[in-house]
Amino acid sequence: MPKTLSRWLPLALLTLAALALRTRDLAARPMHADEANQAVRAGELLETGRYAYDPRDHHGPLLYYGVLPVAWCRGQGTLAGLDEVTVRLVPALAGTACVLLLGLLAAPLGRWPSLAAAAFLAASPPAVYYSRYFIQETLLAASALAAFVCARQWLREGRARWAGAAGACLGLMLASKESAPLFALAAFAAFLLARAAGGPPLPGRPARGLLAGAAAAIAVTALFYSSFGAHPSGLRDLLGGYGQALARLRGANTGHEKPWWYFLRLFTWWRAGGLVFEEAGFAALVLAGFCAALARGTPLLRWAAAYSGLVLIALSAVPYKTPWHAVDLAPGFALLAAGAVAAPSRTRPGRWAASAAALAVLGMLAFQADRSARAYASDPRNPFAYVHSSPDVLRFRPMAEAALGRSPDGVIRVISEEYWPLPWYFRGLARVGYWDRPPADCDGALVIASADLAGAVRSRLRGAYAESYLGLRPGFVCVVFTPRP
Amino acid sequence: MKLARMLRPVCALLPLALAAAAAEDLVPLKIELPKPLFVGTPRPIKVSNLEPQQAGNPAPLLVPAGTALLSRNKPVTASDSLPVIGELAFVTDGDKSGVEGSYVELGPGLQWVQIDLGAAHKLAAMAVWHFHAEARVYHAVVVQVSDDPAFKAGVTTLFNNDDANADGLGKGSDFAYIETYRGRVIDARGATARYVRLYSNGNTSDELNHYTEVEVYGSP
């Protein structure tokens, strides 16, 4: 086998396996409210070409623009034509790229340990779950890994083009989410900490590279936040977006406050309603890798330990926590676990023991990843299925189509304090309206009311209706009023 | 000739109707509907129990004097013989707390549990608790009794809220209901049977089926 092929084939196969894990049954899980929100915005961009950054919510523009090439490739040009597979392919491809990029980043650990790092990330339950989930986190992780790979190449070779590429990737990070500066700062601080214990010399003329990087980062950020020049005030709004993000992190009654050990629990042992989701073996390897990095680690391992430690401390310290932030920890943890596998591999018995441990952990990770991403994808006991929509949401669209079939001029009324992801499922249907309190006229071809508002809606209905129940998400039940013939 | 006679009044009124429409210039009513608002991640709902639909205690079901609980610790079978969570024995063990370890979870879609009372009894009532740790509604709930363990002969339906015939047992007109700690009391109307079978077809939170407790009352 040619040397190049034997060198790259295992990583290529691993990347293909990661792609399969991330794309199998991609449309099966019901859309989460956040996914639906963002998919509707992406559909509007696709349909009208218009996008304006919203500093209050919905994060950066990269996710929405990322949908365009996938939709074009799949022949979709409108919101009504857009489907779950198209929007979810964006994070799925980014998540697959993460595996490839981590394999490249981990190269200094050696051939098999770098493959182990990529394999741990390929099978990581949070990485798999959120690679199938139309939110920004996986794009942020992929941009960050690409930035790290390019920055390392610049440090090794000193060529300004690598610094420029790292800067462009930093721009993509910033265009993903307002939390991106945290990870860039953590990476830089970790670099300084790792270098304090020694490392290769810095490239000559670093100012030139830094300037190239900064220019590329600013250019890419400006392009996306200004909607490619169409909405220049998006750049000003970005500052407001950082203010909003900081306020959210301070945890002022957001409803997402969690204890400091939340992420430790996610990566070790999570039991709810009789189900256990665990990564205890992987956590043990990460801890061993952390200790090995501190004791006598390579510069890369020391950097991974410092970066993961800083990010974990930062995410644990703020009260606002959502499980998708685990995606930001997974690559660093995978590097440390690979470091633990590499440490005893210098002797033959050690190599066997390390291989056995790595395979056992990998098998358990893959089992847990598939279980959480498919069998229990929207189950409220799954720690990654966070305030997730119920499978019942898939029943609303057929009911609405039947209602409009019975009365084509009728109105579908959604009267509820919360109604996402229904606007996604009702995309393309004419005459659907949304109210957060009952209007004076509640009658319609189909009336969907939250259980809390159903009494008020019922009292305002003039026609005769049959009533049934459908769930929006666990604990949130809707009453569906269907006109009696 | 007969048809022409019938159409004569219609022909006479048609010009009048057209004239009236033209005079009022009727157009389809256009209603501007509110668009959805874009919002952030929904908050987790934190409820230990919920009773949103009714205030006060419902009126108790009247049953014959001497009615007793017949189902306690009686054998239970199910369409899902190997539940992932809990055991089928939980259905009749008397624990209605609703916490983890008190309910059995059957697989997705249409599932049933069946209680063998050991002998035919005259039944007065049943009480069913599916899962009451949060507000949810179980779909297509059907309760039947029979002396045939296969439920192929002599089947009496006591409750059916499957208005779309999702279970394939026929449409029912009973109301769906939100689960609470009070459970659901069903009038057995004096039916005589040995076996009780309860169907459901997922719920508003997930596609699974749960039973915390089922109680069957009747003449000992």
Q: pLDDT (tens digit, 9 = 90+) per residue, A198-226?
A: 777 777 788 899 999 999 999 999 999 99
**Burial class for B56, CB neighbours closer than 10 Å (0-12, 13-18, 19+):** exposed
pLDDT tier for residue B15 given thresholds of 50, 70 and 90: low
pLDDT for residue A446 is more than 80: yes
Residue of B87, B204, B212 best to disrupt the A interface, most CBs of A under 10 A: B204
* A474 contacts in chain B (CB < 8 Å): 45, 134, 136, 205-206
Q: Give the residue on A whose Cα is nearest the Cα of B50.
A: A475
Question: Sign of torsion, CA B165 B168 B173 B175?
Answer: negative
Average pLDDT, chain A: 93
Contact A392 B101 (CB under 8 A): no
Beta bridge partners of A269: A278
pLDDT for residue B18 is more than 50: no
How much helix, strand and coil, in percent to the nearest 5, is found in chain A? 65, 10, 30
Mind listing the pLDDT tens digit for each residue in A123-166? 999 999 999 999 999 999 999 999 999 999 999 998 999 999 99
B136 and A CB contact within 8 Å: yes
Question: Sign of torsion, CA B147 B149 B155 B159?
Answer: positive
Residue A377: per-residue pLDDT = 95
* A57 contacts in chain B (CB < 8 Å): 38-40
A108: number of Cβ within 10 Å: 13
Average pLDDT over residues B104-131: 95
Residue A340: per-residue pLDDT = 93
Residue B58: per-residue pLDDT = 63
**What is the model's pTM?**
0.88
Average pLDDT over residues B15-34: 51
Mind listing the pLDDT tens digit for each residue in A87-111? 999 999 999 999 999 999 999 999 8
Q: Give the A:B interface size as CB pairs under 8 Å.
A: 120
Mind listing the pLDDT tens digit for each residue in A231-275? 999 999 998 888 888 887 776 677 888 999 999 999 999 998 889
Q: How much is the CA Rg of chain B, to the nearest whole Å?
A: 26
| CA distances, A217 to each of A166, A222, A328 (Å) | 8, 8, 20
Lay out the sheet containing A476-483: strands in order across. A432-435, A412-415, A446-450, A476-483, A465-473
B30 and A CB contact within 8 Å: no
B15 and A CB contact within 8 Å: no
Residue A1: per-residue pLDDT = 65
**Burial class for A443, CB neighbours closer than 10 Å (0-12, 13-18, 19+):** middle
Alpha-carbon distance A434 to A420, whole Å? Answer: 10
* B175 contacts in chain A (CB < 8 Å): 467
For residue A421, is the peptide bond before it cis, meaning its omega torsion is within 30 degrees of 0?
Answer: yes
Residue B27: per-residue pLDDT = 53
Q: How much is the CA Rg of chain A, to the nearest whole Å?
A: 24
A26: number of Cβ within 10 Å: 18
Residue B60: per-residue pLDDT = 77
B56: distance to nearest CA of chain A, Å?
Answer: 17
Helices (H), A24-136: 33-48, 62-73, 84-105, 111-122, 125-131
Beta bridge partners of A412: A432, A446
Task: Identify the DSSP state of A320.
Answer: B
Higher pLDDT, A205 or B35: A205
Task: Identify the DSSP state of A108.
Answer: G
Residue A57: per-residue pLDDT = 80
B99 and A CB contact within 8 Å: no
Q: Which of B31, B50, B136 sits opposite A471 (nearest CB)?
A: B136
Alpha-carbon distance A101 to A153, whole Å? Answer: 13
Residue of A469, A472, A473, A482 best to disrupt the B interface, most CBs of B under 10 A: A469
Unique residue bearing structure tokens 């790979």: A149
Alpha-carbon distance A211 to A303, whole Å? Answer: 23
Largest CA distance in chain A: 82
CA-based nearest residue to A188, from A210, A216, A207: A210
Q: Give the residue on A whose Cα is nearest the Cα of B43.
A: A255
Pairing of the two strands B213-218 and B68-69: antiparallel
Contact B40 A473 (CB under 8 A): no
* B47 contacts in chain A (CB < 8 Å): 475
Contact B43 A451 (CB under 8 A): no
B207: distance to nearest CA of chain A, Å?
Answer: 7
Residue of B29, B38, B105 best to disrupt the A interface, most CBs of A under 10 A: B38
* A473 contacts in chain B (CB < 8 Å): 42, 45, 205
Alpha-carbon distance A396 to A381, whole Å? Answer: 24
CA-based nearest residue to A446, from A403, A383, A388: A403
Task: Identify the DSSP state of A452.
Answer: T
Residue A350: per-residue pLDDT = 84
pLDDT tier for residue B1 given thresholds of 50, 70 and 90: very low
Mind listing the pLDDT tens digit for each residue in B172-186? 989 888 888 888 889
CA-based nearest residue to A473, from A454, A446, A450, A457: A450
pLDDT for residue A414 is more than 90: yes
Q: Give the residue on B whose Cα is nearest the Cα of A423.
A: B36
Q: Which of A387, A431, A471 sits opposite B43 (nearest CB)?
A: A387
Q: Which of B34, B139, B206 sits opposite A379 (nearest CB)?
A: B206
Residue B41: per-residue pLDDT = 67
- Cβ neighbours for A359, distance < 8 A, ≥ 6 positions apart: none
**A184, A214 contact by CB (below 8 A):** no
Alpha-carbon distance A186 to A291, whole Å? Answer: 19
ipTM given for this complex? 0.82
Residue of B32, B39, B87, B163 best to disrupt the A interface, most CBs of A under 10 A: B39
pLDDT tier for residue A290 given thresholds of 50, 70 and 90: very high
pLDDT tier for residue B35 given thresholds of 50, 70 and 90: low
